[in-house]
A and B are shown apart, each in its own frame.
Chain A
Amino acid sequence: GNSVTQMEGPVTLSEEAFLTINCTYTATGYPSLFWYVQYPGEGLQLLLKATKADDKGSNKGFEATYRKETTSFHLEKGSVQVSDSAVYFCALPLIQGAQKLVFGQGTRLTINP
């Protein structure tokens, strides 16, 4: 089945800093790719997705580009806020075409004012 490797945390940044969280994947074909976010005390939420190579997913100022050449889907944000403090998970379907997901181990992000 497919798998994902995610940048280990924790990551601590100051407000307005630039953020990158690395994610690389191993997959058969070209599956959709996802980033989920888990805010403190809440369930996971889909943050953004990309469904084909070179697609850019974006939401809430976050972006990630589907790079098939490097099998990567890095999460970026130009200027982070304290409210972005959360755990971020990269994910893709367990097998081609399925909506059962395999997740990375998560990256805890803390933004200091």
Chain B
Amino acid sequence: ETGVTQSPTHLIKTRGQQVTLRCSSQSGHNTVSWYQQALGQGPQFIFQYYREEENGRGNFPPRFSGLQFPNYSSELNVNALELDDSALYLCASSRGGGALPTHFGPGTRLTVT
């Protein structure tokens, strides 16, 4: 059974650019949640996708958007990058829209300069 995988591992972008981060959910899991973890802080909930529909959103602006595909993998897109977007972005998968995320991916480290 494969775990949650994320790509890329890290990347560097310039302020104002756009970025796409990817997540493959654990086998059998149909729900993907995204979190932002700033340095030295706990993860903050961005949004969740269940069966290809957004299923809840945290306090993040609309320039943070996402997609979930029929195979339950997911993308996080961030437009008009700001310096404060520099963080570790974590993806978690679970089974069912109300299920607790038990395993997270290793994350994508985004640096905005």
Q: Which positions in A face B, CB cutoff 8 Å?
A: 6, 32, 34, 36, 41-46, 49, 89, 91, 94, 98-106
| Nearest residue, chain A, Cβ from B56 | A100
Q: Are B100 and A44 in contact (CB under 8 A)?
A: no
Binds A, one of B10-18, B68-76, B79-87, B103-111: B103-111
User: Closest residue of chain A to B43, judged by CB?
Assistant: A103
User: What's the minimum C-beta distance from B33 to chain A, rounded to whole angstroms?
Assistant: 7
- Residues in chain A near residue B41, CB distance under 8 A: 105-106
Q: How large is the interface on B (under 10, 10 to 19, 20 to 34, 35 or more residues)?
A: 20 to 34
Verify B98–A99 contact, CB threshold 8 A. Answer: yes
| Interface contact A100-B4, CB-CB below 8 Å | no
A99 and B32 CA atoms in complex are apart in Å by 11
Tell me whether B58 and A100 are in contact (CB under 8 A): yes
Q: Which residue of B lies closest to A49 (CB)?
A: B100
Tell whether A44 pairs with B33 under 8 Å between CB atoms, given A99-B100, A101-B45, A104-B42. no
Partner of A43, one of B4, B42, B58: B4
Name which residue of chain A comes closest to B40, CB basis: A105
